Chain A
């Protein structure tokens, strides 16, 4: 039985000392996860916001026994990073909901509707330069990308949308770098051929 495994079990058995150790050990990771999520979503936050979310997470873990959900206690770090980010997302949603309710009440009381608010946060810096894509071309690309296998679609997305290098993608997907390169190359060829077939020659 390993170190962390043991620690988690003792935490579930409500061992206060083990819990303190747990917090000491993973505090940094959770902090970083929340901060990364906040800043990636362009959410303006104060120290207090991070503290609040952290408090929530620790409450979940300690009082609401969320640790029970972990399948492999050896590999707890990824799970912690994920639940922290999800909490941060919930928190942002709540905050924006509150403030927008106030402002919509003040500014335009006609539209009492509040949209799903995460939509109003830009996920990345998305440029407005869209003239490159006509709706026809977009439809064609939709069809081509749709026809690729799921693995290839994921690789393409990680590479072109999230800007990950081949090596990083290989690490994420537990495959070799060569495999990733091959998938990207083949997908590119396929897209190009399909586009040429439909008369887009100069791309």
Chain B
């Protein structure tokens, strides 16, 4: 069924990659990608996109280019933002030494924030692997597959 739809769409997509005079303006398509336009405008643009493979193609590649570009630029910001709980935890840990009077309080805070990091981040997957190994269990295939390569 899925294959059928795929084949059908592909056969329709053959050699239709030309711009027509009805095609979207560059700035309209840009707006569609970058901002959440009012519904009426979106519907209009989507109505064209649904039937025009040229614009569809442009939409898809533009999105890909932007994503690629953004990931390159934001790699450092990602490291900071994605691990924010870890940073908070470290700050709490440091503070516990700077203010010995509240040593335990800060240490507890650091511990809780650390837990938050462990359970909310993408580190969970690694954690699951570690726990399973410690218990001596077999790894489910989807975990090991990606590491075999």
Contacts and interface: CB of A to CB of B under 8 A. Distances in A.
User: Does B bind A?
Assistant: yes
Interface of A: 28-29, 32-33, 36-37, 40, 69-72, 75, 77-79, 81-83, 85-86, 89, 116, 118-124, 126-127, 129-130, 132-133, 137-138, 141, 145, 150-151, 153-154, 156-158, 160-162, 164, 168, 171-174, 188, 191-192, 203
Given A79-B27, A162-B60, A126 B66 contact: no
A164 B6 CA distance: 12
Interface in B25-42: 26-27, 29-31, 33-36, 42
Contacts of A132: 3-4, 7
Interface string B36-56: 100000110011011101001
B46 A150 contact: yes
A36 B34 contact: no
A28 B18 contact: no
B10 interface: yes
Nearest to B37: A174
A151 B8 contact: no
Nearest to A90: B19
A164 B57 CA distance: 12
B128 interface: no
- Please list the 8 inter-chain residue pairs (A to B) with the smallest Cβ-Cβ separation, ordered nearest first: A79-B30, A75-B34, A153-B50, A150-B50, A78-B30, A119-B15, A150-B47, A78-B33
Contact of A133 (B8, B33, B63): B8
A147 to B, nearest CB: 12
Contact of A119 (B3, B17, B50): B17
A81 B62 contact: yes
Contacts of A121: 17
B90 to A, nearest CB: 31
Contacts of B18: 116, 118-119
Given A132-B7, A154-B50, 8 more contacts: A28-B69, A36-B64, A75-B34, A78-B30, A81-B65, A126-B13, A150-B47, A151-B46
Contacts of B79: none
Nearest to B24: A82
B7 A130 contact: yes
Contact of B31 (A72, A85, A158): A72
A71 B46 CA distance: 20
Contacts of A79: 26-27, 30
Nearest to A172: B63
B33 to A, nearest CB: 4
A157 B50 contact: yes
B58 interface: yes
